[in-house]
Structure 1
């Protein structure tokens, strides 16, 4: 992962390349250990002063998918009955794989590498729970360790994901309207385990269905899948989310179907 710090002139570097407080009262610019899990080619993370962390990603995943460009032509019937065609590339992208869960006539239009933008999120370095929860909206609600973004459990305004599940690849993601994104447990990097999934826009990390503190599925989660315990990244108990071990459509697990328990920040 690319990490940079905004250092005060009286701070000193520790062995991990972070900067720690020297006792002068200027604060700390040390990044949370979990940020080391984010992909180094796709994500850049840096301190902004002593109280905020800026996360920037190119939006591309670091794993295989049938949504990378290929020499295949895909055609899907659009909402108005028109044919929407994703044309062929000259060669297959190195991370392209044939679809095994979805199929060419179910996949969403567009390829991963059609996206040529970026996403930026700034969160508190020490996020706190809000006095009340708030609902998630459409679009990106978090950034995954792979570099791509996380969406909630809706496919449109008040439109459940159910009808779009057929377009998801083996790691529960698809393209559109801007970029490739995950809705369900992304098996490319977490599959019924305690692996770090990413960070939600309120600044709290989200992990797989199991918790390192107990080695199994946590039983004390709140309505958003959050609780306070130690993780593999800290020996001090802290609030974090989990993918809830609740089956969706008989075989899937939604990444984040609940409300923000902290104060959400814009992903832009």
Structure 2
């Protein structure tokens, strides 16, 4: 919802005022709706959403466009937590005997395509049709890593479940990315996880407004309520849906798919 964005100036209202002023100067008395021009419903945002303060500033850069209608989120792709996918001499490397790495020579910081960038509407459009997720990066997490959906290549995630580390992520060989609930960020709580391609933020399995698992989620795992970043105002956002991902060859249990879609904010 639009209430969560601070200092919103309706662009359509601004254009309407200009148009009415022009009519007044011309001396026209015709103010019928049929003579008014259609104006854009885009909204101008003058400052970034408060939730962006939770992102790892060592990896993530957030830029508001000059016209205040879009936000670009850029990341190095390097998460701020441990994983078997760091090189062995890195301070964040840990051994995870239950994980079958994608390749033994694949590690964070040692491959191509580490960085990721997405551009989203500053105010998500929640009035249109839903849109299915796609492969590759569908969002950026607060840690700096990418978010992927519940698919791997051309098939189900089961085929790659054994390569997922304790954070529900792997690298192979492009960006390090999460498929499952990223436990270094959230583990059955209300922490902010990241932002998705439609400009909607996603949180953990609990709801800050009630302190419990939400029961009013839509098919995407979304609902409208207050969060810790909306200053008492309600805003549409996603949660990790509280459903166990059944994969017998995943190294850790229980596990939850991070986001399967569809997007609601296009």
TM-score band by shorter chain is: 0.7 to 0.9
TM-score (norm 1): 0.77
CA contact (8 A) 1:100 1:170 kept: no
Q: Which has the higher strand share?
A: 1
What SS does the aligned partner of 2:158 have? helix
Post-superposition offset of 1:233: 0.6
CA distance in 2, matches of 1:258, 1:22: 30
Give 1:249's match in structure 2, choosing from 246, 250, 257: 246
Q: Which residue of 1 aligns with 2:40?
A: none
CA distance in 2, matches of 1:59, 1:118: 5
Higher Cα radius of gyration: 2
C-alpha deviations, 1:14-46, integer Å up to 9, x for none?
Answer: xxxxx96899x6954211010000001000012
Q: Which residue of 2 aligns with 1:240?
A: 237
Tell me, which stretches of 5 or more residues in structure 2 are unaligned? 1-5, 15-42, 248-253
1:31 aligns with 2:27: no
Post-superposition offset of 1:202: 0.3
CA contact (8 A) 1:101 1:168 kept: no
What SS does the aligned partner of 1:212 have? coil
Q: How many residues align?
A: 219
Tell me, which stretches of 5 or more residues in structure 1 are unaligned? 1-18, 71-91, 264-268
CA distance in 1, matches of 2:126, 2:7: 25
CA distance in 2, matches of 1:249, 1:126: 35
Q: Which residue of 2 aligns with 1:266?
A: none
Q: Which residue of 1 aligns with 2:264?
A: 261
Deviates more, 1:249-258 or 1:138-147: 249-258
Q: Which has the higher helix share?
A: 2
What SS does the aligned partner of 1:113 have? coil
C-alpha deviations, 1:199-232, integer Å up to 9, x for none?
Answer: 0100000000001011010000001101111101
CA RMSD of aligned residues (A): 2.0
Post-superposition offset of 1:127: 1.0
C-alpha deviations, 1:109-159, integer Å up to 9, x for none?
Answer: 2101114542111111111214211111110100000001000001112x1
Q: Which residue of 2 aligns with 1:68?
A: 86
Q: Which residue of 1 aligns with 2:194?
A: 198
Post-superposition offset of 1:177: 3.8
Greater RCO structure (CA 8 Å; 6+ sep): 2
CA distance in 1, matches of 2:58, 2:108: 16
Q: Which residue of 1 aligns with 2:25?
A: none
